[in-house]
Chain A
Amino acid sequence: MAKSATDVGVQQSPHQRGDRELTYAEALVEAIAELMKEDPDFLIIGSYVLGLGPMRALFDEVRHEYPKRVLDPPTAEIGFTGFGVGAAMNGLHVLVDLSTASFIFEAFPQVVNEAANASYMSGGRLAVPIVFHFLHGLRGGGAAQHSHSPQAMLWNTPGLQIMMPSSPADVRGMLPTAIKSGNPTVFVDHSKLMPVRGYVPALPKEIPLGVADIKRSGRDVTVVATSYSVQQSLSACKTLASEGIDTELVDPRTVVPLDRQTILESVAKTGRLVVVDETHRSCGIASEIAAIASEEILDALKVPIIRVTVPDVPVPFSPVLESELDTTPERIAAAVRYQMTRKQINRL
């Protein structure tokens, strides 16, 4: 069985006096509340920013304070997403919440064929400041129609920035960046991240696009992971450390734009790469990062790259079957161990 969200991850110490320990959901809502307060043009369309779990009540305060700027639309994803796109074209800063990531398929034409293309087709004369927010991935019982991780498909769509925070501090610093970036941005959350606790600065700073974060420094193996798989990887790193394997964990945080340099520098240092991601194996986030590493830095690799991903099958319902596909800390740790023990590439 997969460990539950609260078991996963490594609690880091506060960096500075005044850092506050918050859940991911609290940090997300704090960012939304701040944007609502600071920016009278900030509009939210969608009802389930925090999903359907118990954390959802945190969002109610924002909803009650700003009833005119938190709109609960009908079940009409292409319609209300298009409303968001049009409102953004007319000067509002919009967050369209699609709730479960799988529902973005109902809105795909507006996301990938309108918002993503609009600036380009206009010849740079039009900005579309909109954020598409959803909760992706294996959530426990979501099964085939409620467990998608569409970020790889969206990465295959030029014109969308893609942000994937993995900690309370990151989501607190990244959501304002997404809203203020002035461009269509896919903001990828995960329901299993919502209860994760972590320290958030007393005065949160915006985290820029395209800046990766080294979540753990190490010298033996580089693990690149995104979203909730960062938390799973942190858990794996802890186990591996007790075995004497020193893992470096790189979290790109945004894949569009992608901080290639931080990833490649880490791989140059360790010579071993494991890419972990919850998108499906073929043409997934991990595939692209592996391709970049093999194009740019093959000489530095001591062993071939390994991907730890969700296999190419629909997500099943039964917990045993869902767990079989998950990028669990155990699977990640096993991949790292294999990288340490397998035969090195012969370069003679």
Chain B
Amino acid sequence: MPPQRFEPESAKKVLPDLEKTGLIELLHKMLLVRRFEERLIRLAEEGPSFGHYHVYIGQETIGIPALAALRPTDLVFPTHRNHGYLLSRGADPGRLMAEILGKQTGLNGGKAGTLHASAPELGIPHTSAIVGGIVPIAAGAALAAQLKGSNQISVALFGDGATEEGATFEALNIASLWRVPVIFLCENNTEEALGAAAGGYPKSVTAATDLGSIARSVGVPAVVVDGTDTRAVFTAMSEAAERARTSGGPTFVEAKVVRWPGSNPLWPELPAGETELRFAWEPESAPEQLLRWYRDQDGLLRYLREMLGASLLDKDDAAEIDSDVRSQVEAAVRFARNSAYPTPDSAYLDVFAGQS
């Protein structure tokens, strides 16, 4: 039985139960991530190459509300598509950009790059770019929180591909047995993906038609949400966080999106230029090849459209936020470009903690 096709339910309301300032803050973060990633693709095209990378375009409405449902002391453990979480937790865009370019001022002094960037001081202790690698680690951090008697929880952030890995299954089983306060947030972006067999970036290759069934098979409750629905993500994560904090154990949250077409090739690209805010209110103005995606499948524009419709802000307000994040991103690029590379001898430091 093939998996059911995913398509966002456009009639549903997507604003979470937050104050206006909270709703605007979410939009601000979503736009910051969108502009950062779009700029990054252009930067990669301009060269010099900073190696293989992944962007978070089209998934802003998963990670940003998901992290907003947590407390600042909670830990999150990302995989390689990590820029969105770092920015969402307040990482300086300049230091993230500098890390991606391998500069000394980067979040990790140029040792991590895009794939492994982390920010322990922001509750992002470690990013694993090994598919499935982060899942047991995030659950182990939750075990530590449990043993210390804190009410901290931990979140494993991974894609659908990680459910193909044994490490993920083992972590689900142990987390269930030991009832550790962890949320397994699976961002399923496989819908309409090209996949490796067609020459694109991988998509799910699994016999499971429902990824949550893997979690349920070992007693972990699983929910599926529309990942373009900010409200649904926020609610599911709030409920999962509450369950974890009250020793109810782990939850598997699957958030589905249609893959942004620019993440379909092996290397990200901007198939039709940058996102324009007016696509939110004039969908027909979007370039034809991405018309359907921008109109029906882009969670960010869906969120903005409802904010406008509810008169929580007007088009000028939106343009101002956009202009603000664009200047932040341009400043980040300048900072990263103007930063020095690390001194060669720093290659020998930090092999062990306590060396520098």
Within residues 110 to 134 of chain B, which ones have a CB less than 8 A from any CB in chain A? 110-112, 116, 118-121, 125-128, 130, 133
Query: Are B144 and A82 in contact, with the CB atoms below 8 A?
Result: no
Nearest residue, chain B, Cβ from A118: B126
* Known contacts A85-B137, A122-B112, A123-B108; is-contact A109 B167 (Cβ 8 Å): yes
Query: Are A68 and B174 in contact, with the CB atoms below 8 A?
Result: no
Chain A 79-102 near chain B by CB (<8 Å), digits 1 or 0? 111111111111110000000000
**A71 neighbours in B (Cβ, 8 Å):** 178
* Known contacts A126-B120, A183-B353; is-contact A86 B144 (Cβ 8 Å): yes
Instruction: Point out which of B154, B166, B169 has the most chain A C-beta atoms below 10 A from its C-beta.
Output: B166
Query: Are B128 and A114 in contact, with the CB atoms below 8 A?
Result: yes
**A120 neighbours in B (Cβ, 8 Å):** 111, 350-351
B147 touches which one: A43, A73, A109 (CB < 8 A)? A43
CA A73 to CA B152, docked complex, whole Å: 23
Query: Are B171 and A82 in contact, with the CB atoms below 8 A?
Result: yes
Query: Are B170 and A78 in contact, with the CB atoms below 8 A?
Result: yes
Within residues 4 to 40 of chain B, which ones have a CB less than 8 A from any CB in chain A? none
Query: Are A124 and B170 in contact, with the CB atoms below 8 A?
Result: no
Query: Are A82 and B120 in contact, with the CB atoms below 8 A?
Result: no
B136 touches which one: A82, A88, A113 (CB < 8 A)? A82
Query: In the complex, how many angstroms separate the beta carbon of B138 from the nearest chain A beta carbon?
Result: 6
Query: Are B133 and A82 in contact, with the CB atoms below 8 A?
Result: yes
Chain A 114-129 near chain B by CB (<8 Å), digits 1 or 0? 1001111111111110
B145 within 8 A of A: yes
A319 within 8 A of B: no
Chain A 37-81 near chain B by CB (<8 Å), digits 1 or 0? 000010100000000000000000000000011010110101111
Nearest residue, chain A, Cβ from B110: A123
Query: In the complex, how many angstroms separate the beta carbon of A95 from the nearest chain B beta carbon?
Result: 13
**A176 neighbours in B (Cβ, 8 Å):** none
Query: Are B174 and A79 in contact, with the CB atoms below 8 A?
Result: yes
Nearest residue, chain B, Cβ from A72: B177
Nearest residue, chain A, Cβ from B177: A74
A110 within 8 A of B: yes
**B174 neighbours in A (Cβ, 8 Å):** 73-74, 76, 79-80, 83
Query: Are A123 and B107 in contact, with the CB atoms below 8 A?
Result: yes
| Interface residue total, chain A, C-beta cutoff 8 A | 44
Chain B 332-356 near chain A by CB (<8 Å), digits 1 or 0? 0000000000000000011111111
Query: Are A83 and B354 in contact, with the CB atoms below 8 A?
Result: no
B173 touches which one: A74, A119, A127 (CB < 8 A)? A74
**B145 neighbours in A (Cβ, 8 Å):** 90
Query: Are A109 and B133 in contact, with the CB atoms below 8 A?
Result: yes
* Known contacts A87-B144, A125-B120; is-contact A78 B136 (Cβ 8 Å): yes
Chain B 137-173 near chain A by CB (<8 Å), digits 1 or 0? 1111111110110001010000000000011011101
**A118 neighbours in B (Cβ, 8 Å):** 126
CA A183 to CA B107, docked complex, whole Å: 21
Query: In the complex, how many angstroms separate the beta carbon of A63 from the nearest chain B beta carbon?
Result: 16
CA A124 to CA B355, docked complex, whole Å: 7
A158 within 8 A of B: yes
B77 within 8 A of A: yes
Query: Are B109 and A124 in contact, with the CB atoms below 8 A?
Result: yes
Instruction: Point out which of B118, B143, B354 has the most chain A C-beta atoms below 10 A from its C-beta.
Output: B143
Query: Are A79 and B112 in contact, with the CB atoms below 8 A?
Result: no
CA A119 to CA B111, docked complex, whole Å: 10
Nearest residue, chain A, Cβ from B178: A71
Given contacts A109-B167, A182-B354, 4 further A-B pairs with CB under 8 A are A78-B170, A83-B171, A89-B141, A125-B120
Enumerate the 5 nearest inter-chain pairs by beta-carbon distance, A residue then B residue, closest first: A82-B136, A86-B140, A79-B170, A83-B140, A127-B353
24 cross-chain CB contacts under 8 A = A73-B174, A76-B170, A76-B174, A82-B139, A83-B139, A85-B137, A86-B138, A89-B125, A90-B140, A110-B167, A114-B128, A114-B137, A120-B111, A121-B126, A121-B127, A122-B111, A122-B125, A123-B108, A123-B111, A124-B353, A125-B121, A127-B353, A161-B352, A183-B352
> Which residues of B are interface residues toward A (Cβ below 8 A)?
75, 77, 106-112, 116, 118-121, 125-128, 130, 133, 135-145, 147-148, 152, 154, 166-167, 169-171, 173-174, 177-178, 349-356
